[in-house]
């Protein structure tokens, strides 16, 4: 039986979320800058996904297991310890971008970084646009 994705788009204001959830001024500034950049790269408005993810665009996926759902094309969460960046690192092009991205660590499905100045923004743009292209080809 297919399971529903727990993280779904909500009607919560992204600005209200950032202003109430993020307690450090530098992290707020970085959050609003990421919003500007991701909005430019995706051509979509930011939306809240679940309680803490700021997402841009949307696609529908369905796995062979039957699990399906909707996800943002790009997203991030300004978590307390560090940012979580949601991009897809599925092909060799993205590997070369990761090598030039800057100071970060990788989780299973996201990139963690402390502040935006730790990242090379030109490389982040290339990685983000590569993610958008990959997702749109894989899940038309």
Domain residue limits at 81: 14-138
Give the total number of structural domains in the chain. Answer: 1
pLDDT at site 33: 98
Percent of the chain with pLDDT over 70: 92
Mean pLDDT over the full length of the chain? 90
pLDDT at site 19: 96
The H-assigned helical ranges of 1-140 are 14-21, 25-42, 92-100, 121-138
pLDDT at site 96: 83
CATH number at residue 57: 3.90.1150
The reply to whether 113 falls in a domain is: yes
- For 29-49, the three-class secondary structure string (H helix, E strand, C coil) is HHHHHHHHHHHHHHCCCEEEE
Interval 83-136: pLDDT, tens: 999 987 666 567 788 889 999 998 877 899 999 999 999 999 999 998 898 888
Angle at 79 between CA 76 and CA 85, to 5 degrees: 25
Give the distance between the most distant pair of CA atoms in the chain.
45
**Structure-token pair, residue 135:** 């997702």
The reply to whether 33 falls in a domain is: yes
Residue 2, pLDDT > 70, answer no
């Amino acid at each position: 039986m297919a399971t529903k994705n727990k993280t779904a788009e909500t009607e919560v204001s992204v600005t209200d979320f950032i202003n109430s959830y993020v307690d450090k001024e530098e992290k707020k500034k970085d959050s609003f800058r990421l919003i500007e950049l991701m909005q430019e790269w995706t051509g979509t408005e930011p939306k809240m996904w679940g309680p803490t993810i700021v997402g841009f665009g949307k696609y529908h996926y369905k796995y062979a297991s039957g699990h399906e759902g909707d996800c943002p094309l790009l997203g991030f969460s300004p978590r307390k310890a560090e940012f979580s960046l949601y991009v897809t690192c599925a092909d060799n092009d993205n590997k070369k971008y990761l090598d030039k991205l800057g100071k970060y660590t990788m989780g299973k499905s996201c990139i963690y970084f402390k502040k935006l100045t730790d990242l090379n923004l030109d490389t982040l743009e290339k990685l983000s646009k590569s993610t958008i292209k990959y997702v749109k080809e894989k899940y038309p």
